[in-house]
Amino acid sequence: MNDEFYMNLALDLAEATQGQTSPNPVVGAVIVKDGVIIGLGAHLKAGEPHAEIHALRMAGEKAAEANIYVTLEPCSHHGRTPPCADAIIHAGIKRVIISSIDPNPLVAGKGIEKLKEVGIEVTSGVLAERGNKVNEVFFHYIRNKVPYVTLKQAITLDGKIAAKTGHSKWITGEDARSDVHNERSKHAAILVGINTVIQDNPSLTNRNENPGKQPVRIILDTHMKIPADRKVLQDRIAETWIITGSEVPEAKIAEFENEYVRIIKLPSPVIEIRELLERLGEEGIPSIYVEGGQAVNASFLKEKAVNRLVTYIAPKIIGGNDAPGMVGDLQVLSMDDALGLRFQSIEQIGEDLKITSSMK
């Protein structure tokens, strides 16, 4: 078997844990000796052993003189767990095959150096494109220190997100909505504007059969006008963070805060998206799934703070000028000023379409 075969297996293991390792990357490892797989591992949860350690434990003494396939450069620093490079050396591994180099400045190239110093053969960049893709979100977060932003909308064929009354349940069918729950589970947080919470009273939870980790719910609410009876404040299924401007009185904050509800007051009187993203990055949120409404969508797009757009299009038409469209005013006066996107994929989910695009 060739290197790519085992690396694909290691990448499958990594990919399967998408959404549960936050704020850590997903990593898979496979140990092979004389053409036989003797160890498999994946990093399952932050604070728990890394993929290499699980695989080495499974292989036991047989790991001596074996090859290890790892989707991400082994770590060389003492984090919450001891360095994997040391464990690989200690186990007597002969050759290390790596897909992506770790962009974390604490690791970047140092893990490989350490292995080479003791005479271990290292091959890196095997299936690097897939390796970088599975950790796209994590790499973005490490490099930029702000979350990776996915902007999701469910629209009608004529681009509306609700009827003129504000009624919006449901635009898309059951299959598309179940796909949304899947996407939610892959992000550390879900974000909406206060109007959506007031009008729709959404739960913003992942309600799949196997929900995994529930993302943090983030509400942009400058003056804390959120009514106390909203599901996001009452259900205690996931954490809710309310983001406010600087002018909200402390007494009001104390009234709302509990084990599940946190109020984060930003330094400016209005919520600046850049400031918000920096703060969320500091809070350890590597990715957010922005679910509108149109005002919030416009703010993120205006700031060019969107990495990926996921748009579900329902075969329905609402019509008229009063029903809200997907994005609020962007001050575009001619087609030359329109925001340019690149379509990446299109698929049919039940009766709806799902289009994924990136910003140009």
Q: Residue numbers of the site for ligand NDP (CB under 6 A)?
A: 153-154, 161-162, 166, 168, 171, 192-196, 199-200, 220-223, 225, 271, 273, 291-296, 299, 324, 328
* Alpha-carbon gap, residue 98 to 111, rounded angstroms: 11
96 binds, among ligand NDP, Zn ion, none (CB under 5 to 8 A by kind): none
Nearer to Zn ion, 116 or 304 (CB): 116
Q: At what angle do helices 84-91 and 51-59 cross, to 10 degrees?
A: 20
Catalytic member of 4, 52, 113, 209: 52
- Annotated binding residues for Zn(2+), written as ranges, equal 50, 75, 84
Using the Cα atoms of residue 72, residue 309, residue 358 and residue 332 in order, give the sign of their dihedral.
Answer: negative
- Reference 293, options 150, 148, 146, 154; nearest CA is 154
The half-sphere exposure of 170 on its side-chain side, counting CA atoms within 13 A, is 13
Q: Which helix (H) or strand (E) holds 161?
A: none
Nearer to ligand NDP, 138 or 312 (CB): 312
The least distance separating ligand NDP from the CB of residue 247, rounded to whole angstroms, comes to 11
Q: Are 38 and 59 in contact (CB under 8 A)?
A: yes
Give residues in contact with Zn ion (CB under 5 A).
50, 75, 84
The least distance separating ligand NDP from the CB of residue 303, rounded to whole angstroms, comes to 9
52 in catalytic set: yes
- Annotated binding residues for NADP(+), written as ranges, equal 154, 170, 196, 200, 222, 293-299
Q: Are 233 and 256 in contact (CB under 8 A)?
A: yes
The least distance separating ligand NDP from the CB of residue 241, rounded to whole angstroms, comes to 13
221 binds, among Zn ion, ligand NDP, none (CB under 5 to 8 A by kind): ligand NDP
The number of angstroms, rounded, from the C-alpha of 36 to the middle of its chain's C-alpha atoms is 35
The least distance separating Zn ion from the CB of residue 85, rounded to whole angstroms, comes to 8
Q: Which residues are catalytic?
A: 52
